[in-house]
A and B are shown apart, each in its own frame.
Chain A
Amino acid sequence: MSMEALKRERIQLFKDAIIGDKKPERIPIFSNMWSWKILDAGYKLSEALNDYEILKKSLRHFYENYPADICHETGWRNPIQVTESMGNNAYIINDDQNSISIKDQCYMKPEDYDALISNPKKFLWETFLPRKFKYLKGSDSSDALRVGIQNYAKFGQFMGEVAQINEEFGIPDFFDPNGAILHWANGFEILFNMLRGIRGLSYDIRRNPDKVLAAIEAIDEVFAKPIMERTKGTPKGTNMNCSVDINPVLLAHTILSPKQFEKFYWPHFEKMIDYVTEEDKIVYIFAEGDSERFYDFFRQFPENRFALLVEQNDIFKMKKELPNLTVSGGMPVDLLGKATPKDCTDYAKKLIDELGYDGRYIFSEGKMISFPNDATRENLKATYEFVRDYRG
């Protein structure tokens, strides 16, 4: 089979698993693979994150050894060449522990809300970015900005080369790059991940909920609305060159109660539901942390349009409670890291038999595979080969 044909086959697997008109030929594999592949290829994190060539070699090594249908290389574990060039050193790489961590950055203060709300672009450009990137301070900031843009262009080139490697191995783009809603580009996630941090936003939603709501609206006007506008005029229907159309990542929901979720987050999903219904699109939600307390909301997602990957929840229970969704995840890294290949393939069989009997399951791990103990080579290879070959 040609790589182009393999890519088409993989795209169809995801379409069938989510749209559900017919059962997919087999259960697709969404590899929840992150920095583990760098270590598995024999490199240190500090080497790889400073060298795009090593990252590309690591990706090739992964594809050559593990038959995943998608490996979501976003490059977002490797922005340090961009951030450090402008004077931000928030990433901490520990080669002894094989870990990358990032400080909970908070460069927006509670008293900045009014400035953010009145003119988000002005506040973020003039005030926020020079706080975050120390070389962007001062009247000669153009030199540092130029270097930052040049490094961003190199990062973009790297992502283009990742796309070429994907083509070589018959791996499709996972989501539509022209999709209407980017991963993080909604106001609440931006406040959480980029502006106020976990602690700051947790206080704000209690002390200044109206300002948080106004800030969400103002941020969406700047970042989400142009993206929505850009998609007007693109063809209706799911993009057959990608596995899914939209791939939102939920992280900020982890600090919310259901009542707070309804107020601060759900309006974003209501817009998304309207969009995907009108434009006939499909969505794969990557939900980090615990999501079970939001199932009453997720039941409102229209049938045959949404898949949901959960990390910390019982996926068998989710299958029963959310029959409107395609479920994804469930493979424990404890097994992949510590059990035998037989234990792993037995569990993968159970997942497929109990979750994929109707075709509405996408195999994946219940945790981002990052550390050496998250999987052994033998277990990962045996598991992916089993899922690829098993027909139920």
Chain B
Amino acid sequence: MQYDAMTYPEGYEKAKQEELNFLPEDEAIRENVMLNFFLSILQF
């Protein structure tokens, strides 16, 4: 399924649910991983 991932907050939230679905369904965990990814690719 394709969607516009680079909108905020809609695309960000959808990406968090769709692309991090290998993680437990815990909002805090997924947000933490997403934030780390976000900060890392800003830096990389």
Taking Cβ atoms with an 8 Å cutoff, the residues of A that contact B are 76, 79, 82-83, 86, 88, 119, 121-122, 124-126, 128-130, 132-133, 136-143, 145-146, 148-149, 152-153, 182, 184-185, 190, 193-195, 223, 226, 230
Contact = CB atoms under 8 A, between A and B. Distances in A.
B6 A136 contact: yes
A122 B4 contact: no
Contact of B37 (A133, A141, A149, A184): A149
Nearest to B14: A142
A234 to B, nearest CB: 14
Contacts of A124: 38, 42
B3 to A, nearest CB: 5
A272 to B, nearest CB: 18
A140 B2 contact: yes
Interface string B6-31: 11110110110011101000000000
Given A125-B8, A142-B1, A185 B39 contact: yes
A121 B5 contact: no
Given A145-B15, A145-B19, A146-B19, A140 B41 contact: no
Contacts of A149: 15, 19-20, 37
A194 B12 CA distance: 20
A128 B43 CA distance: 12
A190 B18 CA distance: 28
User: Most B CB atoms within 10 A — which of A79, A88, A122, A145?
Assistant: A145
A132 B15 CA distance: 18
Contact of B4 (A76, A79, A139, A223): A139
Contact of A126 (B2, B6, B40): B6
A125 B38 contact: yes
Contacts of A141: 4-6, 11
**What is the predominant secondary structure among interface residues of chain B facing chain A?**
helix
B33 to A, nearest CB: 9
A142 B15 contact: yes
B7 to A, nearest CB: 6
A181 to B, nearest CB: 13
A37 to B, nearest CB: 21
A122 B6 CA distance: 9
9 contacts: A83-B44, A121-B38, A126-B7, A142-B3, A145-B19, A149-B19, A153-B22, A185-B39, A226-B32
Given A129-B6, A132-B42, 5 more contacts: A82-B44, A133-B41, A137-B6, A139-B3, A190-B42
A130 B38 CA distance: 12
A83 B41 CA distance: 7
Nearest to A147: B19
Contact of A145 (B6, B8, B9, B44): B6
A182 B43 CA distance: 12
Contact of A223 (B7, B14, B35, B44): B35
Given A121-B12, A125-B11, A145 B5 contact: yes
A193 B43 contact: yes
Contacts of A122: 8-9
B38 to A, nearest CB: 7
Nearest to A119: B8
A83 B37 CA distance: 12
